[in-house]
Every structure is written in C-alpha cells, then in structure tokens.
Amino acid sequence: MFDTPVQVSRPSRFFDGEGSLETLGTATTVWADVKLHDTPVRMVFRAEEDIRVGDIIEVENLES
C-alpha cells in the first residue's frame, strides 16, 4: 500500500482588478495507492498528507 508516487500541485488565483491569473505551485511527491481500473477511480493516501479539493494530481503511467 502507498507504493505509487504522485505529483500534487496547488493552483493559486490572483486578482488584478481586471481579471484573474491562475498559476500552479511547485509539485510535491506524495505516496498513494491508486486504483485506476475501479469504478469510480480511487486514490488512497495518508490522512496527514496536505491534499485538498481542487489540487492537481498527476499520476505517471501505471502497469496493470
């Protein structure tokens, strides 16, 4: 369990009075258990990891 490294980035939105600019922060590596072939797709990680709704999660190609 927790044998798959995933990259987690947090988007930041800045308002300049005329619109907004969205950027991605530096990606951090989190070890998780990813099940891509389940319905729904699942990712299990430790509760102490800093992952929030809206974060961008990148998973490398996984072998079956």
Q: How many domains does the chain have?
A: 1
Q: Find the helix or strand (DSSP H, E) in which 13 lies.
A: strand 11-15
Residue 64 lies in a domain: no
Q: What is the pTM of this model?
A: 0.73
pLDDT on residue 63 = 65
Q: Is a pLDDT exceeding 70 seen at residue 2?
A: yes
Residue 53 lies in a domain: yes
Domain of residue 24, residue span = 4-59
pLDDT digits (tens, 9 = 90+) for 36-48: 777 888 889 999 9
Burial of 32 (0-12, 13-18, 19+ CB in 10 A): buried
Residue 11 lies in a domain: yes
